[in-house]
Amino acid sequence: MSLIVQKYGGTSMGSPERIREVARRIQRFVREGHQLVVVPSAMSGETNRLLALAKELNPDPGPRELDVIAATGEQVSIGLLSLALQALGVKAKSYTGWQVPIVTDDAFTKARILSIEEKHVRADLAAGNVAIVAGFQGIDARGNITTLGRGGSDTTGVAMAAALKADECQIYTDVDGVYTADPRIVPDARRLATITFEEMLEAASLGSKVLQIRSVEFAGKYKVKLRVLSSFTDVSSTDMGTLITFEEDESMEQAIISNVAHNRDEAKITVLGVPDRPGIAFSILGPVADANIDVDMIIQNASTEGLTDFSFTVHRNEFKRAMDILQNQVKGAIGAKGIVGDDRIAKVSIVGIGMRTHAGIASKMFGALAKEGINIQMISTSEIKTSVVVDEKYMELAVRVLHKTFELEKDPTEERMKA
């Protein structure tokens, strides 16, 4: 008997018929003798509907009240899923965030989980119940309702698994695992049976929408065995999706590069002709950070005649705000020659723990892109990934070229077996 946490996304909970499917899947695991904690998201579209209502009443809604409103989506889901299970004769009991309780900080709309009291849920599991815990929400120290931000239900699932020391946390979504690239761009993209935790973390931060990055961090911190599966396969399917592993095991599928990620949510800003003196990066990025705008890539060129160019990327939604700040608060203050921006860019990345031990991977990437005439605007590297910024119109081509270059369509396990 295992203790399994299952998280179901909004599309999995999208209609009464879909909720019944989820209930039947849970029933199968219960019949197999497992203890289950289930974390559903709000029905798809519900959170957007609620936020649209809020914005109609207040274009600049206060975050505390936004969370009061948004949290109802998951509260409806836990009730409905519990009822669907009861209709199948499966004992189930729902928990809101405050009923668990899942204690967070007070950063409304993007709160972080501080602690989880697991004793009530554990008592219900011992009594033979499936525990249905609302995703996305918590309670702060003063009793306010908080939410964890978009995709926060993934984090709830992983955090519950960590608190309960569950054997596995299964994330059911509308894709059946993690792929070597987006199959909509690369038709022969291959599903990975396993991916290392570090690769998953990079992939999530680079634009993979499969898992919320914070949930992956959480899984890493608490060593939660995490698996991504599809809730759209047949209920009795034994397909096991993609497992996120912690050990680099020789027996496991092991490619140098595991996947190609892409992201067109960013915009690039360059501050031209900046006097090259200490503290200049802070002078430029300080006001941007003060406005709560996250910066991703940062590049400063070598200086020529005491002047340098300073480039960075921000989320495309923040592009206009960031440009305004630079024009109005930064440009004059630091004596820059100009500010130029481009929101028609894309970031394409290769990810793989093999990069640690194999030289020349980055230059192979640059060579492949050059051969297709794709100009590289920015480069950023870490131990296990290399990202480039290119013109948005070349994004799909770049992803396909890199997938081909690193032969990701081939299953390395099979290759080894043939050898």
Residues that bind a second copy (CB under 8 A): 16, 19-20, 50, 53-54, 56-62, 64-66, 68-69, 71-72, 75-76, 78-80, 82-84, 86-87, 93-94, 96, 98-99, 143-145
* Cα–Cα distance measured from residue 120 to residue 150, given in angstroms and rounded to the nearest whole number: 27
Which residue's CB is nearer to a second copy, number 30 or number 71? 71
Which residue's CB is nearer to a second copy, number 27 or number 258? 27
Q: Where are the beta strands (DSSP E) in 27-99?
A: 35-40, 92-95
Which residue's CB is nearer to a second copy, number 88 or number 291? 88
Alpha-carbon torsion 50, 51, 56, 62, what sign? positive
* CA torsion angle 172 72 150 82 (round to 10): -10
Which residue's CB is nearer to a second copy, number 142 or number 418? 142
Q: Where are the beta strands (DSSP E) in 246-326?
A: 259-263, 266-275, 295-300, 307-315
Q: What are the structure tokens assigned to 85, written together?
A: 């299970």
Task: Give CA separation, 2 vs 37, 162, 180, 231, 307, in Å.
Answer: 11, 14, 30, 20, 62
Taking the complex as a whole, how short is the minimal distance between the CB of residue 81 and a second copy, in angstroms? 8
Taking the complex as a whole, how short is the minimal distance between the CB of residue 67 and a second copy, in angstroms? 8
Which residue's CB is nearer to a second copy, number 87 or number 141? 87
Q: What is the CA radius of gyration of the chain?
A: 23
Cβ neighbors of 197 (< 8 A, separation 6 or more) are 216, 219, 220, 244, 245, 246
CB-based contact 6:38 (threshold 8 Å): yes
Taking the complex as a whole, how short is the minimal distance between the CB of residue 143 and a second copy, in angstroms? 6
Q: What are the structure tokens assigned to 101, written together?
A: 């309780």
Q: What pairing do the DSSP bridges indicate for beta strands 113-116 and 102-104?
A: antiparallel
CB-based contact 183:192 (threshold 8 Å): no
Q: What share of the chain is helix, strand, coil (3-state, %, to 5)?
A: 40, 25, 35
Which residue's CB is nearer to a second copy, number 14 or number 207? 14
Which residue's CB is nearer to a second copy, number 54 or number 193? 54
Which residue's CB is nearer to a second copy, number 80 or number 330? 80
Taking the complex as a whole, how short is the minimal distance between the CB of residue 312 and a second copy, in angstroms? 34
Please list the alpha-helical segments (H only) found in 108-206.
119-126, 152-164, 197-205
Cβ neighbors of 154 (< 8 A, separation 6 or more) are 7, 135, 171, 211, 212, 214, 215
Taking the complex as a whole, how short is the minimal distance between the CB of residue 292 and a second copy, in angstroms? 20
Taking the complex as a whole, how short is the minimal distance between the CB of residue 126 and a second copy, in angstroms? 17
Taking the complex as a whole, how short is the minimal distance between the CB of residue 86 and a second copy, in angstroms? 5
CB-based contact 108:146 (threshold 8 Å): yes
CB-based contact 339:314 (threshold 8 Å): no
Taking the complex as a whole, how short is the minimal distance between the CB of residue 274 and a second copy, in angstroms? 41
Task: Give CA separation, 213 vs 11, 90, 155, 210, 235, in Å.
Answer: 19, 33, 9, 9, 28
Which residue's CB is nearer to a second copy, number 63 or number 412? 63
Taking the complex as a whole, how short is the minimal distance between the CB of residue 106 and a second copy, in angstroms? 14
Which residue's CB is nearer to a second copy, number 58 or number 115? 58
Taking the complex as a whole, how short is the minimal distance between the CB of residue 253 and a second copy, in angstroms? 40
